[in-house]
Chain A
Amino acid sequence: MKSIFTLIILLFTTTIFSQNSLSGTIVDEKGNPVTGANVFIEGTYDGTSSTENGEFNFTTTTSGKQILVVSFLIFETLKTVIDVTDFKNKTIKLRENVTSLDAVVVTAGTLEAGDKSRVSVLKPLDIVTTAGSAGNIIAALQTLPGTQSVGEDGRLFVRGGEANETQTFVDGIRVAQPYGASTQNLPTRGRFSPFLFSGISFSTGGYSAEYGEALSSVLILNTQDEPDQNKTDIALMTVGLGIGNTQKWNKSSLSVNANYINLAPYQAVIPQNVDWNSPFQSLSGESVYRYNFNTGILKFYAAFDSSKFDINQENFNSLAKTRVNLNNTNFYMNTSYKGNFGNNWQLTSGLSYGNSQNKIGIDLNDVKNTENAAHLKLKLKKSFSERLKLSFGADYFATQFDENYNEYLGTTNTSGYNSNIAAVYTEMDIFFSKKLAVKAGFRASNNDLLKENTLSPRISLAYKIVKNSQFSLAYGDFTQTPNVDYIKYSKFHQFESEKASHYILNFQYNKEGKTFRAEAYYKDYSNLVKYDTQIAQYNSVYNNNGLGYAKGLDLFWRDGKSIKNLEYWISYSYIDTKRDYKNFPTQATPNFVANNNLSVVTKYWISDWKSQIGFTNSYSSGRPYNNPNEVTFMNGKTKSYSNLSFNWAYLLTTQKILYFSVSNILGTQNVFGYDYAKNPDETGYYNRKEITPTADRFFFVGFFWTISQNKKDNQLKNL
């Protein structure tokens, strides 16, 4: 009896759990067999790993329609619905995973600094450990190819473009006033302290349709999503004090920092080339609050900065020096949200508001100006697959600028403008294979002040020739509202947008710790603003007939591998550019352009001394200047510029760092250009004055202390 039961049960189980066998071959896109792929029926134990010939063979107790999963490291996981009763000797083709490390990346124009990027040329730490940068993001970027080092200005000049042709974005939202206030021939620096940012993307051309209102370049700074821990940072420096604190909670975190800079004690000790009445002083603070939702992150960033100085500048047009007294206050805030929803949708949105007020006394005359700028942004991105992504979005920029110029005992001149720009864009990312990727899109915008609509196409593609090496190509049209110096006279003249087209060919080689990058470009400028007076003023006659070009080659080599403990990079840029703009009588190379720029940056870690020592050498060939005593326009050329900087960071303990840096060790007498008198003297000769750095050398000594529970952390990254 018992045996009958057993027999019946056995019979039943085999009938109910009747088995279907499945078989086939797994191949890659070229038809080569794939060994070791995991093939199975979803939700069951039934499956196997493919053999050396890519073959598989297994049985399943399931029946009917089931999901077959095939997964293998370097390929996209494949899920297909199959009928298990009829799945024999099938060939399954796997597609390469385009997100894998060795897949092609569209890189034309872009220099990345960050940990997420696969094609980083800079590491996050570099911003602050580069000799000569002194914690200034902008100064560190000036060691990259494609930039001009313009010592008397301090801002970013990219590939023959003026400084205002670079637009800065924090978490995707525009920063209308990215630099501290300054006056003629006094260099400024970036407003942002580097340690709140985890990624920097600096594009020297051909950038995405997501970014507009920039003729030459975009600088994209991303704040950290998550700070590492609770801590307090204290900095004591020869130029001021700084304090910072980070608090971290379960889902949110807050970082604040405040800095007070006063150059008076420093300038009392170190001889200055300029005559200060009251040296530069500033009080600034930043804060970032982050809140993590399950599927997104909300960030709130705010920065406040108030600075002033009072200086006597030599002036050829009068006997006495000109006294410039500047007071600037700047407030910037930015809220952004980034999150995922639905079926592979990503939403990025945000708004920013910036307010900048300047009070400038020039001898007895007064200039007061106020700028209010806002940016609203919405972007949606849909990933149809790893291979096809579509993004589209809209931007709204509103800017209001007012300026009053009060002449002593004279009239008050007011100027200003109100501008509203609405733009939409769309862009598609397509991976045809692991070797070929294309990004194409366009941007359409409407500017109510200029009464114009523009349409700007952008396209870039990348092709991987062999492992570690790839080519990229990019083309794009870019437009930008003219500089505030002109547009504030909009009441008197109807301006048009300035335009540029970029053509870029890029080659990149990347191998563990080594990067080589070469980029050739051609830039075509049109519609540039021209005027007919010595300086731009309300009654100048303006037109948009200016034009120009820039072409050149940028080279970059970085190696952190060949010599132990040594990390170095070399940037070289060659540029040939001419413009007919402003009040130029003919096409000429502007005075901020040096044809050859070379930077060599080295960092060496000495364990025995617990020290990092770095040298940065910058060299630029001579820059043109216009000598009114000569017939030919812009015929002069300064001598070449060179600056060797040194820094030394010494770890007293893991949480206390002593830092020392000095610029221009060799004491090279650099000349940036010449200021010529507006009118000739009695003999008919125009006198001139050299434009030089404010001091021959800059010394900096600082003590940095981090207080946190985790004794490992220090401010090395803040230096």
Chain B
Amino acid sequence: MAKIIITIALFISSFLSAQGQYEQGMGKAFGLWKEGKNAEASDLFERIASAEKLNWLPNYYVALVNTTTAFGTKDKEKINLLLTKAQNALDVEMAKYQNNAELYVMQAMINTAWIVYDPMTNGMKLSPKNMELYAKAEAIAPENPRVVFSKAEFQINGAKWTGIDTKPLCAQIEKAIGLFATFKPESAFSPKWGLDRATEALKNCK
């Protein structure tokens, strides 16, 4: 009897500790990221990804952390390294999930970073590609606020060159802000960023 109880208890405890490990790890990584320790946060997400092969979130965050870091970096060489790292992490998940709108938005974000890196060379090539990615994401999740917001934001940033009317795009941002209010993330660690950026972008609209 005692043996059985011990076995069950052991099973449960090891299960709980694995479960706890993910939660603890993700929590710690987000903590590092918040503290501005981006490299360490990326490292930890990378380690979690190595253990949680069936979960797309850790690699998604490796991509997100490195891409957002790249946006704030001036050294071209470093940007290239960060974006390559982001791309490699995202590729792993893209190969597994073709129906995940968040991954398409992430890919478009990496492309946007490349456009900022060298607009002359990459603008022509990647802008239409981004529109295609947003179209795919929209088809999968039309009510995802990040899809709606990112697409509108990308077009607004391009308006300087294309001269298209930004009014309907601003309306899209407003719509996105509404969607943020009702959006329910699938899990505690699922992407939920964007509201503050959308609010900021809306200010520039007026």
Q: Which residues of A contact B (CB under 8 A)?
A: 5, 8-9, 12-13, 16-17, 36, 38, 40, 42-49, 69, 71, 73-74, 100-102, 115, 120, 123-125, 228-229, 512, 560, 567, 653-654, 710-713, 717
Contacts and interface: CB of A to CB of B under 8 A. Distances in A.
Contact of A45 (B48, B82, B124): B48
B9 interface: yes
B121 interface: yes
Given A228-B129, A712-B131, 10 more contacts: A9-B6, A9-B13, A13-B14, A36-B39, A44-B47, A46-B47, A74-B81, A125-B124, A654-B162, A711-B162
A229 B53 CA distance: 34
Given A40-B50, A512-B76, A49 B40 contact: yes
B79 to A, nearest CB: 9
B43 to A, nearest CB: 4
Nearest to B79: A101
A16 B9 CA distance: 13
A8 B7 CA distance: 11
B122 interface: yes
Contacts, number: 99
Interface string B106-118: 0000000000000
User: 10 closest Cβ contacts across the A-B interface?
Assistant: A228-B128, A38-B43, A73-B81, A40-B47, A49-B43, A47-B47, A101-B80, A229-B128, A654-B162, A712-B162
25 contacts: A5-B5, A8-B6, A9-B9, A12-B10, A13-B13, A16-B10, A36-B39, A40-B46, A42-B50, A44-B47, A45-B48, A45-B51, A48-B43, A73-B82, A100-B80, A101-B80, A115-B125, A123-B120, A228-B128, A560-B120, A710-B128, A712-B158, A712-B162, A712-B164, A713-B128
A44 B81 CA distance: 25
Contacts of B128: 228-229, 710, 712-713
Contact of B121 (A9, A123, A228, A713): A123
B85 interface: yes
Interface string B1-44: 00001100110011001000100010000000000000110110
Interface of B: 5-6, 9-10, 13-14, 17, 21, 25, 39-40, 42-43, 46-48, 50-51, 53, 76-78, 80-82, 85, 120-122, 124-125, 127-129, 131-132, 158, 161-164
Contacts of A125: 120, 124
Contacts of B48: 45
B39 A12 contact: no
Contacts of A43: 50-51, 53
Contacts of B76: 101, 512
Contacts of B161: 712
A35 to B, nearest CB: 9
A13 B10 contact: yes
Contacts of A17: 14, 17
A61 to B, nearest CB: 9
Contacts of B53: 43
B39 A49 contact: yes
Considering residues B17, B122, B124, which has the most beta carbons from chain A within 10 angstroms of its beta carbon? B124
Nearest to B132: A229
A145 to B, nearest CB: 22
Contacts of A12: 6, 10
B112 to A, nearest CB: 14
Nearest to B18: A45
Nearest to A46: B47
Contacts of B132: 228-229
A17 B161 CA distance: 60
A36 B81 CA distance: 14
Contact of B127 (A40, A73, A712): A712
B122 A115 contact: yes
Contacts of B122: 115
Contact of A38 (B25, B47, B51, B164): B47
A717 B121 CA distance: 11
A684 B102 CA distance: 86
A334 to B, nearest CB: 23
Contacts of B42: 38
